[in-house]
Chain A
Amino acid sequence: MTERSRLTKQQLLELARQHQIRGRSRMTKAELIEALDAIDATGPIDTVDEVGQALPPQAEPSSDPKARRAALAARLDSFVDHTKTCNWRSVEGHPCGLPAIAEQDRCSLHGGIDIADVAVPAVGRLGFDTWPALLRHIWLASYDVDPIGLDPAVAEMFWHLANYLYFDYFRVEVEGIENLPVKGPALLTANHGGAALPYDAVMLSLAILNEMPVPRRARVTGTEIFNATPTVSHFYRKIGGVYASRADTAYLLDRGHLVGVFPEGVRAFQKPFSQAYQVQRFGRGGFVTMAERHGAPVIPVAIVGSDEVHPALFSSQILARLVRLVWPAQRVEEMAVYLNLIPLPIRWRIRFLKPIAPSHVGTDPDPLEMLERTEAIRSLIQSNLTEMLAQRGSAI
């Protein structure tokens, strides 16, 4: 692998640690590359034994946004039956007017499908021409929202808008989408990018919506800062966000939904640009314990792109103090200052790794084992990031 020559020695050491190469600390850069290439020649091996994980085979991602949009449109259209309309009627007698879900009497807004899990556009496609129908139903308040606050119509409009970022601006390429379950719970664990806005959370959920055969919703968690910030407080819930708490994660996993977590949390926002793609400590590993307790597999996700969208110049405590002065609800310790206001057009890559099945369902997990597993998942994501960066070539 010639790409390895582009890596720094630090990154090579990390890879060598993953492959458990002995005597790696004494090796030179060239020797490390040689040792790693030798492992490649002997075929794929389990990189992390205790997790039972092998690196997935490299899929050939198609990069033409037009073809990808067409494939998505065809897939979404197959869920609705355009010959039949939804039989819902408002109390004043207004008809629904939306097409019904295939083999159902109702459209996706009025109970044709479990909106908390599967996102089927109400009209069967995304587009500005569908907005009047959606806005009419929002105005009539004709449908129920999810207990956590997911609003299918608002989420659909957001999906449509954010797809311009996804396909045309960030040109997200996805690998390993087949590792996601079509049904049932899973906990997606991803590295968090140091951007001013959580672009990675949006791109992660869009990758699942756009690429999976069944467009499932990944409910991504956010801290209580989201709840305490005006406008964000309800908007992030309407587009499918969840408050990052044990109760909410348990609620969703028990009901068989996909939950996305960023265990690094705010730490990812405070790291300087020199530490880009260095995965920080994974909180206290609560997510592994949650997955164990609720019998959900953990799916590690490596995201390349999020750390370069807003390069942080420096991180300031004084600025954070000023923010707290104006806005006491915010509990920020450090505040990063970013180079740019408009996100940079970085080429993104998202890789879903093989699911790690819960080992002992029903029993209380061993704390030390959970800690080891957390670290194993962290270093697995780190090694995948290092590899993906080497393969990517130009960032733009």
Chain B
Amino acid sequence: MQRILVTGAATWTGGHLIRKLENDPGTEVLAIDEVPPRVDFQSEVFEFQLDHPDFAHFILDTQPDAIVHLQTVDRSALLGGRRAHDEAVVGAQALFGAVHRCDCVKHVIVKSDACVYGMGPRNPSVVFEDAALDGTRGRYAKDLKALEDYIVSTARSRPDVMFTVLRFAPIFGAAVRNPLSRYLRLPLVPTRLGYDPRLQLISEHDAVRALEHALASPVAGAFNVAAPGQLFLSRILRLGHRVAQPLPRRAYDIAVKGMSRADLHLPTHIKRLVHHGLITDTRRMREVLGFEPTHNLRQTILAGYGLLPDRSADV
């Protein structure tokens, strides 16, 4: 009997991962979250605030074999900036503190985001896993950097535990409700005049599959996870039959503020992404982790816009 603890069970990705894990009778899932789940599953949800010591003691009491840490998504819109920061950083401290003390945990999978590399005019065009993490711009990127630093120090003190960090490209799909997906699916999309960033995406289904794959065949290390291919933002919008509205900086800032009023808050890392773009190298994902996304970028985009009738279509 394998016992897997999943934080962030309320997220779309977490919910679908738990549903897949439940199909295996030899697996017991401990779902952790503090908000009601978006996807229905059978396992009981344990309500914990990650930054509370109770959560660490829960790990020590239940003795899970593996931990999937998914509550690294940006929840500043839901919980407020400060609360989200506490959840992410102090929550990670509690989690890795428990891992440090517990002898049962063999494998820890952490969902990170490619935005930890930072985005800007001085970034390399293609980022590899061994690049220095930036974390100087935007609260979310800072939190992720702190989280990855905890992983490094815990891995040093516990060499017997396997740590897999998956740095996901922005997850895009028809069902997920992250800010970038909602932004890209607007009918009229405000963009920065004079900038056409190169973007990578990963489909929502492939994100779940990547986590499942990392659980099934554990490999230690950090991996960039993205669908094969890269496109300019303008081309992505055209594939989705959306109209891009390039705006100069001031007008763009006003438009972003307007979207924030209309319940679509673009955090700093997303604003920088659609300004400078970010491309990561995924060779390690394919060759070391052994994961191959089912959707390429074009299929991911079309599926996210609901325009992909047949997945085998050659696009």
A138 CA to B235 CA, complexed, in Å: 8
| A224 pairs with B314, CB closer than 8 A | no
Q: Which of B192-231 contact A (CB under 8 A)?
A: 192-198, 229-231
Interface size on A, residues (CB 8 A): 31
Give me the interface of B with A, judged by CB distance under 8 Å: 121-122, 124-128, 131, 192-198, 229-232, 235-236, 238-239, 276, 279, 281, 297-298, 302, 307-309, 313-315
Nearest-Cβ distance from residue B257 to partner chain A, whole angstroms: 21
Chain A residue with Cβ nearest B200? A147
| B230 pairs with A91, CB closer than 8 A | no
Does residue A323 face the partner (Cβ distance < 8 Å to B)?
A: no
| B194 pairs with A89, CB closer than 8 A | no
Give me the interface of A with B, judged by CB distance under 8 Å: 88-91, 138-141, 144-145, 147-149, 151, 224, 227-231, 233-234, 237-238, 242-243, 245, 247-248, 251, 329
Residues of A within 8 A of B195 (CB): 230, 233-234
A91 CA to B231 CA, complexed, in Å: 17
| A248 pairs with B124, CB closer than 8 A | yes
Majority SS at the chain B contact face: loop
| A248 pairs with B125, CB closer than 8 A | yes
Residues of A within 8 A of B297 (CB): 144
A91 CA to B313 CA, complexed, in Å: 6
A316 CA to B124 CA, complexed, in Å: 31
Residues of B within 8 A of A227 (CB): 121-122, 276
Give 11 A-B pairs besides A151-B232, A230-B192, A251-B125 with Cβ atoms closer than 8 angstroms: A144-B229, A145-B232, A224-B122, A227-B121, A233-B195, A233-B196, A234-B232, A243-B125, A245-B124, A245-B125, A248-B126
CB contact under 8 A between A243 and B230, given known A90-B315, A91-B309: no
A224 CA to B195 CA, complexed, in Å: 14
| A148 pairs with B232, CB closer than 8 A | no
| B194 pairs with A231, CB closer than 8 A | yes
Nearest-Cβ distance from residue A107 to partner chain B, whole angstroms: 14
A238 CA to B309 CA, complexed, in Å: 31
A246 CA to B161 CA, complexed, in Å: 34
Residues of A within 8 A of B192 (CB): 230
| A149 pairs with B314, CB closer than 8 A | no
A228 CA to B194 CA, complexed, in Å: 10
Residues of B within 8 A of A234 (CB): 195-197, 232
Nearest-Cβ distance from residue A382 to partner chain B, whole angstroms: 31
A88 CA to B298 CA, complexed, in Å: 14
Nearest-Cβ distance from residue A157 to partner chain B, whole angstroms: 15
Q: List 19 A-B contacts (CB under 8 A).
A: A90-B315, A91-B313, A91-B315, A144-B297, A145-B230, A145-B235, A147-B230, A147-B281, A227-B122, A227-B276, A230-B192, A230-B193, A233-B194, A245-B122, A245-B124, A247-B124, A247-B128, A251-B125, A251-B126
